Amino acid sequence: MSAANSSHCPFMPGRREFLGRAGLGVAGLLLSPGLLESCAPGSARAHIRGTLRGANQATGHKLWKPSQLPAPTRTLRADVVIIGGGVAGLSAKRWLHRHGQHNVLLLELDEQVGGNSAAGRNSTSAFPWGAHYLPLPDPRNTELLDFLRETGTITGTSPSGLPIYNEYHLCHDPEERLHINGHWQTGLVPEMGVPTADREQIARFFQLIEDFRQAKGHDGRDAFMIPVDASSTDEQFRQLDAISLADYLAQHGFTSEYLRWHLDYCCKDDYGTTAQHTSAWAGIHYFASRKGRAHNAESSDVLTWPQGNNFLVEHLRQQAATGILPHTLAYAVEETDAGVSVLAYDAHTHETLRVEARQALLATPQFVTQRLLPDSPGLVPLTLHRAPWVVANLTIDGLPRAPAPRLAGTTSSTAPKPLAT
Which residues contact ligand FAD by CB under 6 A? Answer: 55, 63, 83-89, 107-110, 115-117, 130-134, 309, 329-330, 363-365, 368, 389, 391, 416-417
Length of the chain counted residue by residue:
421
Of 194 and 267, which CB lies nearer to ligand FAD in the complex structure?
267
DSSP calls for 84-132: --SHHHHHHHHHHHHTT---EEEE-SSSSS-GGG-EEE-SS-EEESS--
Shortest separation between residue 285's beta carbon and ligand FAD, angstroms = 13
Parallel, antiparallel, or unpaired: how do β-strands 339-346 and 351-362 relate? antiparallel
Instruction: Judge whether 101 and 72 are in contact, CB under 8 Å.
Output: no
Of 184 and 389, which CB lies nearer to ligand FAD in the complex structure?
389
Of 132 and 177, which CB lies nearer to ligand FAD in the complex structure?
132
Of 6 and 91, which CB lies nearer to ligand FAD in the complex structure?
91
Shortest separation between residue 160's beta carbon and ligand FAD, angstroms = 27
Q: For residue 372, give the nearest of 82, 99, 165 by alpha carbon.
A: 82
Of 194 and 343, which CB lies nearer to ligand FAD in the complex structure?
343
Shortest separation between residue 156's beta carbon and ligand FAD, angstroms = 24
Of 163 and 365, which CB lies nearer to ligand FAD in the complex structure?
365
Shortest separation between residue 97's beta carbon and ligand FAD, angstroms = 17
Q: For residue 324, give the nearest of 54, 53, 94, 75 by alpha carbon.
A: 94
What per-residue string of b and e applies to 244-276 under the rule 16 or more CB within 10 Å gives b?
bbbebbeeeebebbbbbbbbbbbbbbebbbbbe
Three-state secondary structure readout of 316-373: HHHHCCCCEECCEEEEEEEEECCEEEEEEEECCCCEEEEEEEEEEEECCCHHHHHHHC
Of 87 and 297, which CB lies nearer to ligand FAD in the complex structure?
87
Of 115 and 163, which CB lies nearer to ligand FAD in the complex structure?
115
Start-to-end Cα distance in the chain: 9
Shortest separation between residue 194's beta carbon and ligand FAD, angstroms = 26
Cis peptide before 306 (omega within 30 of 0): no
Shortest separation between residue 312's beta carbon and ligand FAD, angstroms = 9
**Residue 324 β-bridge partners:** 106
d(CA 217, CA 226): 15
